[in-house]
Chain A
């Protein structure tokens, strides 16, 4: 049902320049991170390629080695940013998928079952929502210590609530519709109704929330990594790079904190633009 309107969706989507810019930016960053081993001049994790005499070189601004300068360990900054982008995007997308699947299922369950199940799930969600995301993630990470998988879980714990609430709201509206009654009258089992009838009809709002949450997750991850509570130092994300760069900011080596930050901002901005546009196109309420 969602894909049937694909042509119409695209016609409308491409009307906004900022939406196209967002989609383009997002795509470009994803491609760059996927192709990082191919397009970066250096493998920043390979210690045999690093030489201390190359540390803190200023950007040369010409393609090739040290185009964007180097960090304190003599690492090519451009390569480090591409690899950091990989980690950031990976954490952002993985945690989004994880929390979207879990949150949506829980939300559909709450909305479809109503009653006590609903009350309990929404009560938990409400309590969790009254605490800032960063605090919850901070508690989990301070307990577990750094780790790639750990931070994905921590961010997913933060985010499931948003999907659960959206999915529940949409399910409550959908379950009153005729097609659900018809399925129920035909004796279709509750589980099948939820998964096969309702779920496909609430995909649009979930996608809109999901896009916005990816951007949020990437920022949350980089913030935690900046505080030293995110990804491990062996797999630095953009946040870890910025932290390292910040240590040498006062020595005048501005590039190693500013440039990774620009990359981070670019990818988040791209996703936000895309998300804004998706919301406008998929939300029938604001349409003229």
Chain B
């Protein structure tokens, strides 16, 4: 993969903190990665690891008490963090769009689907009513919704879960964005529909050369659909690299745990493993490696925080055990 040429997105040292009554939650703490056109990057981790917050940070949709406190988000050569809100509005839904987790709740229940699609078109493009309607119909056909012309007049509750998520994807694709952030797009769907929706998304992304960030807690899904993987833990990226590298040779103890817990992998006879313990509370996180309390390979030096370092070409990990120390 050639990410050097001209990356669509380059995130550097992103820190998004929430200033709550009980203390500062460092939901995203020094996260960086690069994404080229047509690439799909999987962002994996447990809930609360900071994956979604990373996604929302890129879109500039962090609500108080949260705030991006440091970092750069270079999208097509421009730093989004430095941009005023009105500029971001022009980018959102146009050059970067998002697909949400729960198709039940991500569409406005009291507006027709057609309205919700064309609305996104009108905001960003100068279209006539008829043009927008045609485009909406075309989009629904693109995502595989039968008889699209009629369905434009339906309300969200008249669609099944999978169909509703296709509508969400259609809205995200409406302006041919350069980047799509998909936040657990299939978690709320049945397994069979999951595969359909993801295959559709991958096909669309590849056709148009769109970059995509797939946020998920399911590392198996990432293995099937992504080019690159970033593993997040307690607000930090603990491992990232090409898919094959990370899946076949996971280096961080946490990634190893995640992969060992996938049912039905190579070593069939081995018992399914679980990572013991829980992710630590993000308030008042100790200085050292956040995974320390759950790690079976830790040593004294883990009381300091390990940084990401390259241990193999294109494969970085934040663990002293793998960095030859």
Docked pose: A130 CA to B208 CA in angstroms: 58
Count A-side interface residues using an 8 Å CB cutoff.
2
B23 CB to closest chain A CB, in angstroms?
A: 12
CA distance A231 to B26 in the complex (A): 60
CA distance A15 to B65 in the complex (A): 17
Which chain B positions have C-beta within 8 A of A15?
21
**What mask results when residues 53 to 68 of chain B are scored 1 for a CB within 8 Å of chain A, else 0?**
0000000000001000
Tell whether A196 is near chain B: CB-to-CB under 8 Å. no
What is the distance, in angstroms, from B39's C-beta to the closest C-beta of chain A? 36
Within 8 A of B (CB), among A267-288: 288
| B53-106, CB < 8 A from A | 65
B6-33: which have CB < 8 Å to A?
20-21
Interface string of A250-263 (1 = CB under 8 A from B): 00000000000000
CA A288 to CA B22, docked complex, whole Å: 10
CA distance A288 to B20 in the complex (A): 8
Residue of B nearest to A287 (CB): B21
CB distance from B130 to the nearest CB of A (A): 44
- Which residue of chain A lies nearest to B20 when distances are taken between CB atoms in the complex? A288
The prevalent SS among residues of B at the interface is loop
> How many A-B contacts at CB < 8 Å in the complex?
4
Chain B interface size, under 10 / 10 to 19 / 20 to 34 / 35 or more: under 10
Contacts of B20 in A (CB 8 A): 288
Q: How many Å from the CB of B225 to the closest CB on chain A?
A: 34
Q: For residue B18, which residue of chain A has the nearest CB?
A: A288
By a CB distance below 8 angstroms, the chain B residues around A288 are: 20-21, 65
CA distance in complex: A15, B20 (Å): 14
- CA–CA, A288 to B21, complex, Å? 8
Closest residue of chain A to B64 (Cβ to Cβ) is A288
A288 to B23, CA, bound (A): 12
| Bound complex: CA A165 to CA B297 (Å) | 56
Report the separation of the CA atoms of residues A260 and B20 in the bound assembly, to the nearest whole angstrom: 44
Output the nearest chain B residue to A12 by Cβ-Cβ distance. Answer: B21
How far apart sit A288 and B283, CA to CA, in the bound complex (Å)?
Answer: 14
Which residues of chain A have C-beta atoms less than 8 A from B21's C-beta? 15, 288
In the assembled complex, how far is the CB of residue A280 from the closest CB belonging to chain B, in whole angstroms?
13
Considering the chains assembled together, what is the distance between the CA atoms of A288 and B25 in angstroms? 12
Docked Cα-Cα span, A15 to B22, in Å, equals 13
- Point out the residues of chain A lying under 8 angstroms from B65, CB to CB: 288
What is the chain B residue whose CB lies nearest that of A15? B21
| A220 vs B24: C-alpha distance when bound (angstroms) | 47
Give residues of chain A (1-52) contacting chain B, Cβ–Cβ below 8 Å. Answer: 15
Report the minimal beta-carbon distance from A13 to chain B, rounded to whole angstroms: 13
Q: Which residue of A lies closest to B22 (CB)?
A: A288
Q: How far is the CA of A288 from the CA of B19 in the complex (A)?
A: 11
Q: How far is the CA of A288 from the CA of B18 in the complex (A)?
A: 11
| Alpha-carbon distance A15/B21, docked complex (angstroms) | 11
In whole angstroms, how far apart are the Cα atoms of A288 and B65 in the complex?
A: 9
B262 to chain A minimum Cβ distance, whole angstroms, is 30
* B21 nearest in chain A by CB position: A288
| Beta-carbon nearest neighbor of A288 in chain B | B20
Min Cβ gap B27→A in Å is 13
Within 8 A of B (CB), among A83-136: none
CB distance from A16 to the nearest CB of B (A): 12
CB of A11 to closest CB in B, whole Å: 10
Q: Mark B129-166, 1 if CB is under 8 A from A, else 0.
A: 00000000000000000000000000000000000000
Chain A residue with the shortest CB-CB distance to B65? A288
Q: How far is the CB of B295 from chain A (nearest CB, A)?
A: 31
A42 to B21, CA, bound (A): 50
Which residues of B approach A to under 8 Å, CB–CB? 20-21, 65
Q: Which 4 A-B pairs have the closest CB atoms?
A: A288-B20, A288-B65, A288-B21, A15-B21
User: What are 4 pairs between A and B in contact, CB < 8 Å?
Assistant: A15-B21, A288-B20, A288-B21, A288-B65
